[in-house]
Structure 1
Amino acid sequence: MLLGGREAHQRSFAKALSWRVLGSVDTFLLSWLFTGSPKAAGAIATTEVITKMFLYYGHERVWSAIKWGVKSEEAADPAAKI
């Protein structure tokens, strides 16, 4: 696993993809509003989706390796104490 963590790569990628779809729709609409050009907005949104998807994926993987603020599995599962 890249950088360890409890989350599978596929899950991190699926989260990144769904977030990018929402973010890219937002970027497209804002770009269209500011430029007045749907063609320019499409170019901006297309570039943005590619770069930010990979940035988000890497960000998630790094944070999954940081233990600060994460409860252990035993602490999270009250049944484990029985």
Structure 2
Amino acid sequence: MQDNSRKRHIAKAITWRIVGTIDTIILSWLISGDPLTGLKIGFAEVATKMLLYYLHERAWFKVPMPESNKRHLLKTVTWRMVGTLDTMTLAWLISGDPLVGLKVGFTEVLTKMFFYYLHEKAWYKINYGLENRKVHD
């Protein structure tokens, strides 16, 4: 199972980053009132989040917990903690306003957890990068 797991984790990182970046751009734009600020924050996150997400996937791959809704929820919470801190920092630095960073970060907690949970559930049904795995509902 481990031979192709890196390909799977890279694919998951890419698909999640697309979803996450769109969400960040829209939220940052709405909160800052400036579409350019939204784009800057969203695109700055691409590099940081891709690396952080990949490391998060690698770490969770080594956790000896069976696939379950509990595992998906725990992964959701741990990823959101890492992701929110990154977003808050970038939004603050790019907008120059710590309040924008806090608002974007805290709003994202809700939207990103919802989207991440759906992303995890979808990827659980896909066997790409996993050998001999049966999906159980």
TM-score range, shorter chain: 0.7 to 0.9
- What is aligned with 2:131? 71
- What is aligned with 1:7? 67
Distance across 2 between alignment mates of 1:63 and 1:31: 29
TM-score (norm 1): 0.74
- What is aligned with 2:98? 38
How many correspondences in the alignment?
A: 68
Measured against aligned partners, the alpha-carbon deviations of 1:39-59 in whole angstroms (never above 9, x if no partner) come to: 111100011121111111111
RMSD after superposition: 1.5
- What is aligned with 2:109? 49
Aligned-residue identity in percent: 40
Distance across 2 between alignment mates of 1:47 and 1:71: 38
- Aligned residue type for 1:51: T
TM-score (norm 2): 0.46
Matched, 1:24 2:58: no
Q: Show structure 1 runs of 5+ residues with no match.
A: 1-5, 74-82
Measured against aligned partners, the alpha-carbon deviations of 1:27-71 in whole angstroms (never above 9, x if no partner) come to: 000010011111111100011121111111111111111233322
Distance across 2 between alignment mates of 1:7 and 1:64: 9
Q: Show structure 2 runs of 5+ residues with no match.
A: 1-65
Q: Report the more deviating stretch, 34-43 or 22-31.
A: 34-43
Of structures 1 and 2, the one scoring higher in RCO (CA 8 A, sep 6+) is 1
